[in-house]
Amino acid sequence: MSVLTIKDVTKLFPGGTKAVDSFSLEVADGELVCLLGPSGSGKSTLLRMVGGFETPTSGLIAIDGEDITRTPPEKRPTGMVFQSHALWTHMDVAKNLAFGLKLRRLPADEIKRRVEAVLELVGLGGYGSRRVTQLSGGQQQRVALARSLVLEPKILLLDEPFASLDQHLRERLREEVRDIQQRVGITTLFVTHGQDEALSMADRIVVMRDGRTEQIDRPDVVYRNP
Ligand code: ADP
Ligand code: ADP
């Protein structure tokens, strides 16, 4: 049963760039799919359309069979983690995580419970009262991930989340994020231009070029037939 359906989606920007071109994809429950491709191949635009930050020119995006093509981002069951994590530096870690839950008017004890649980999940148990600016780059990216997960989205959207980190940290976070993703069992779309990243994390890889699918397969098959 597929959780996410993208059908014949095209995005034409004013000026004439066709960023995404009749793109279709079905993503199964709990699957991690990597969108891999060179800069400008349409990966970000596609992800942003699933998250609701761009509207398709044509085509359909559905989650659990429900058309969400024109649903605004805050009403979609999606959580997006951006390249630059954009945490609120004037708030401590716990407040960053609680913010979205407060908007949803959850009771205070429930918020506390969920914030503590998600901090444990990302390996930052006990860091709630730290200021964001006191954390390392990798820790900040874990907070950004936690801030998405705490809202319990149906689909997690990651846009080059490790791009600003050094190679060593990137490799470690890859494993951590994959581990967390599998433990939570959350359906995930992961955008990267790094082949190693895609090969080591994905259940399936969509190789994109010029807004279209060039190849789609399991990592071992993509590796053998690049
Ligand atoms: P990728 O994420 O693979 O690097 P993008 O989705 O960012 O690719 O971009 C795909 C194409 O669409 C590029 O040619 C890019 O310049 C263009 N593009 C992206 N966003 C916009 C925008 N807001 N306005 C106009 N063109 C855009
Ligand atoms: P990425 O790193 O994902 O390729 P970029 O750094 O190219 O993204 O783009 C960052 C932002 O600028 C995005 O919001 C994207 O939509 C926008 N953008 C990208 N290309 C263009 C463009 N040619 N014209 C206007 N906006 C663009």
Which numbered atom of ligand 2 lies nearest the CA of 17? Answer: 23
Least confident of 5-9, 33-37, 158-162, 183-187: 158-162
- Ligand 2 centroid to 127 CA: how many Å? 33
Which residue's alpha carbon is at the smallest distance from atom 13 of ligand 1?
40
Residue 208 main-chain phi, psi, to 5 deg: -105, 145
Token output for 37: 């491709």
For residue 48, the surrounding DSSP H or E stretch is: helix 43-51
Token output for 57: 């020119």
Least confident of 17-21, 82-86, 160-164, 209-213: 82-86
Which numbered atom of ligand 1 lies nearest the CA of 14? Answer: 25
How far is 182 from 159, CA to CA, in rounded Å?
18
Sign of the dihedral defined by the CA atoms of residues 172, 176, 179, 185, in that order = negative
Q: Find the angle CA(120)-CA(78)-CA(39) to the nearest 5 degrees.
A: 100
Least confident of 118-127, 163-172, 178-187, 207-216: 163-172
- Ligand 2 centroid to 44 CA: how many Å? 8
Coil, helix or strand at residue 41: coil
**Mean pLDDT calculated for residue range 75-89:** 86
**Mean pLDDT calculated for residue range 57-77:** 95
> Ligand 2 pocket test: which of 18, 44, 49 has the largest number of ligand atoms within 8 Å of its C-beta?
44
Tell whether ligand 2 has an atom less than 6 A from the beta carbon of residue 44.
yes
Which numbered atom of ligand 2 lies nearest the CA of 45? Answer: 16
Tell whether ligand 1 has an atom less than 6 A from the beta carbon of residue 137.
no
% of the chain beyond a pLDDT of 90: 85
Tell whether ligand 1 has an atom less than 6 A from the beta carbon of residue 42.
yes
**Per-residue pLDDT for 1 more than 80?**
no
Token output for 81: 């983690």
The strand pair at 32-36 and 58-63 is best described as unpaired
In 13-69 the beta strands, taken as DSSP E runs, fall at 18-28, 32-36, 58-63, 66-67
In the chain the beta strands, taken as DSSP E runs, fall at 2-12, 18-28, 32-36, 58-63, 66-67, 78-81, 155-159, 187-192, 204-209, 212-217
Position with higher pLDDT, 223 vs 43:
43
For the entire predicted model, the pTM comes to 0.88
Render pLDDT for 132-154 as a digit per residue (tens, 0 to 9): 999 998 899 999 999 999 999 99
